[in-house]
C-alpha cells in the first residue's frame, strides 16, 4: 500500500511541476482519488486506448494525441475541431491564445474552465491544421462518444462551423448556426458558436460582429441553463 501511495505522490509531484503548479499535493490527491474511484475508471482506460490508437494516419505525424480535459462531472461540454500546434506540443486542448480567448468567453457568463469539460472532434492534429477529413472523424468518433458517456453533459457548446456540423449533422454556415439551439435525440441541448480563434484572425468590423454573436450565443446558453435549472 505504501508503495502505491508513494508512486501516486511521485506522479502527482511530476504533474504539479509541469501542469498544475497552483494546486497543492493534498488537493491533487483528493481530486485524483475521486476521479480514479469512479466505477470502471473509464477515463483512464480511454486515455490508454487513445494513446495506442492507430485507426487513421494522423497518429504518424503528431507529437501528442490530445484527450479532452476538465471537469468530468461538468454539465457543459465544449467541443472544438481538432488540436492545433500548441495543443499538439502540450497534449492539452485549447491552450495558447485561442485558449485564453475561450477562458474569456466562459468568464462572460460566469464560468471557469474548471466548470466545463473541453475536447475536440478529432484527437490528433491534422497536418497544416487542415479541415478534418471524413475518414478521420469516423475513425476518431469512438473517443468522443466515450467522453460523452463519461461526462454525460446536459449542454454542448460547439466551437466553430466544423464541430457544429459534426455534432448536429447539418451542413449550415456558422452564421446560420449562431443564435440557435438544438436538442439531440438523447436530450442534450447544443448551442453552436464561433471558434475562439476567429476573434484572433478577424479584424475590424467583422471581428466586432463575431464578438457580438458569440456574446449572444453564450447568453443563450446561460438562459437555457437557467430555464432548466442547470
Ligand atoms: S485522430 Fe483519432 S482515430 Fe486517428 S489516430 Fe488519432 S486518436 Fe486515432
pLDDT in tens, 75-108: 999 999 999 999 999 999 999 999 999 999 999 9
Does 30 map to a domain? no
Distance 60 CA to ligand 1 centre (A): 10
202 within some domain = yes
Residue 99 domain boundaries: 61-227
Percent of the chain with pLDDT over 70: 81
Question: Which pLDDT value is given to residue 31?
Answer: 44
The reply to whether 205 falls in a domain is yes
- Say if ligand 1 is within 6 A of residue 122 CB: yes
Q: Output the CA 50–ligand 1 centroid distance in Å.
A: 7
pLDDT along the chain (230 residues), means of 10: 43 40 41 43 94 97 96 97 94 93 96 96 93 94 97 98 96 97 97 96 94 98 83
Structural domain count of the chain: 1
Asked if residue 16 belongs to a domain, the reply is no
Cβ(62) – ligand 1 distance below 6 Å: no
In a domain, residue 9? The reply is no
The pLDDT value recorded for residue 12 is 41
Give a yes or no: residue 133 inside a domain: yes
Please state, as a whole number, how many other Cβ atoms lie within 10 Å of the Cβ of residue 184.
13
3-state secondary structure the chain: CHHHHHHHHHHHHHHHHHCCCCCCHHHHHHHHHHHHCCHHHHHHHHHHHHHHCCCCHHHHCCCCCCCCEECCCCCEEEEECCCCHHHHHHCCCCCHHHHHHHHHHHHHCCCCHHHEEEEECCCCCCHHHCCCCHHHHHHHHHHHHHHHHHHCCCEEEEECHHHHHHHHCCCCCHHHHCCCCEECCCCCEEEEECCCCHHHHCCHHHHHHHHHHHHHHHHHHHHHHHHCCC
Taking alpha carbons only, the member of 127, 129, 69, 63 closest to residue 95 is: 69
Ligand 1 atom nearest the C-alpha of 56 is: 4
Ligand 1 in reach of 162 Cβ (< 6 A): no
| 26, part of any domain | no
pLDDT at 229 (0 to 100): 59
Q: Is 166 in the pocket of ligand 1 (CB under 6 A)?
A: no
How far apart are the CA of 123 and the centre of ligand 1, in A?
6
CATH, residue 148:
3.40.470.10
pLDDT at 94: 94
> What pLDDT score was predicted for residue 38?
46
CB atoms within 10 A of CB 133: 14
Residue 217 lies in a domain: yes
Instruction: Express each pLDDT in 55-68 by its tens digit.
Output: 999 999 999 999 99
Amino acid at each position: 500500500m505504501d508503495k502505491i501511495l508513494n508512486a501516486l505522490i511521485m506522479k502527482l509531484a511530476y504533474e504539479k511541476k509541469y501542469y498544475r503548479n497552483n494546486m497543492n499535493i493534498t488537493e491533487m490527491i483528493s481530486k485524483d482519488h475521486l476521479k480514479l474511484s469512479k466505477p470502471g475508471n473509464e477515463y483512464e482506460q480511454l486515455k490508454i486506448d487513445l494513446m495506442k490508437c492507430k485507426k487513421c494516419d494522423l497518429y504518424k505525424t503528431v507529437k501528442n494525441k490530445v484527450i479532452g480535459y476538465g471537469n468530468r462531472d461538468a454539465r457543459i461540454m465544449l467541443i472544438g475541431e481538432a488540436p492545433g500546434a500548441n495543443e499538439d506540443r502540450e497534449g492539452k486542448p485549447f491552450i495558447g491564445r485561442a485558449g485564453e480567448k475561450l477562458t474569456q468567453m466562459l468568464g462572460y457568463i460566469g464560468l471557469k474552465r474548471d466548470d466545463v469539460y473541453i475536447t475536440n472532434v478529432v484527437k490528433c492534429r491534422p497536418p497544416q491544421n487542415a479541415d478534418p477529413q471524413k475518414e478521420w472523424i469516423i475513425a476518431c468518433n469512438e473517443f468522443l462518444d466515450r467522453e460523452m458517456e463519461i461526462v454525460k453533459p446536459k449542454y454542448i457548446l460547439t466551437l466553430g462551423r466544423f464541430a457544429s456540423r459534426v455534432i448536429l449533422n447539418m451542413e449550415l454556415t456558422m452564421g446560420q448556426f449562431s443564435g440557435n439551439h438544438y436538442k439531440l435525440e438523447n436530450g442534450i441541448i447544443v448551442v453552436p458558436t464561433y471558434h475562439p480563434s476567429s476573434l484572433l484572425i478577424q479584424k475590424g468590423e467583422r471581428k466586432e460582429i463575431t464578438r457580438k454573436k458569440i456574446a449572444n450565443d453564450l447568453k443563450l446558453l446561460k438562459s437555457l441553463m437557467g430555464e432548466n435549472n442547470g
